Amino acid sequence: MSNTVKGKLDAITFFYGFGAAVVLVGSMFKFVGWDYANELFITGLSIETLVFLVSAFERSTEDKTYQWENVFPQLTANGNGANPDMQGYQEAMKQFSGTIGELGEQIKGLNNALGAVKNEMAQNAQVSKEMHEKVVGFNQQLGEYNQHMQQINAKYKEFLSASK
């Protein structure tokens, strides 16, 4: 059997979660078009309203002061209790500085990659523009071809009717 400590159930948190769950189920019913969607919405939102009203009058407990020495052991005094461990602090700062340097190099690489993508997109845009201009020209030539064919057909019909 484990010795894990579990917190006690907070009624407001329970009802808040329960109300949210009812609202979500009501949303699902509404989206799917099932019956009782409006009733679920009203019930869930009513629970949420009551929870908010009750929590408005809830008193807060004072927060504990945070023990920074647990996060940054370098801040604790060395053996004689006089000064913090400056060597440990300096090592931590060197490590932090190295991490920041690596991050800077990665950002430079990302910037270079984005620049290459931007250049490629600009080239593709230019090619697309040129292709568009060629298609417009082709459409114009096709229109002229169509007009010429209509003229030829008209002359041919004239010729046929004159030869009869």
Q: What is the pLDDT of residues 5-56, one digit of tens each?
A: 577 777 878 888 888 888 888 889 888 989 999 998 899 888 888 888 888 8
For 16-32, b/e burial (b = at least 16 CB within 10 A) is beebeebbebbeebeee
41 vs 151, higher pLDDT: 151
**Residues linked to residue 84 through DSSP beta bridges, in sequence order:** 77
**What is the three-class DSSP state of 155?**
helix
User: In whole angstroms, how far apart are CA 64 and each of 67, 68, 70, 74?
Assistant: 9, 12, 14, 22
Q: Give the integer Cα–Cα distance in Å for 144 and 152.
A: 12
- Residue 109 one-letter amino acid: G
Whole-structure pTM over 0.85, yes or no? no
Calculate what percentage of the chain has a pLDDT beyond 70. Answer: 87
The pLDDT of residue 53 is: 87
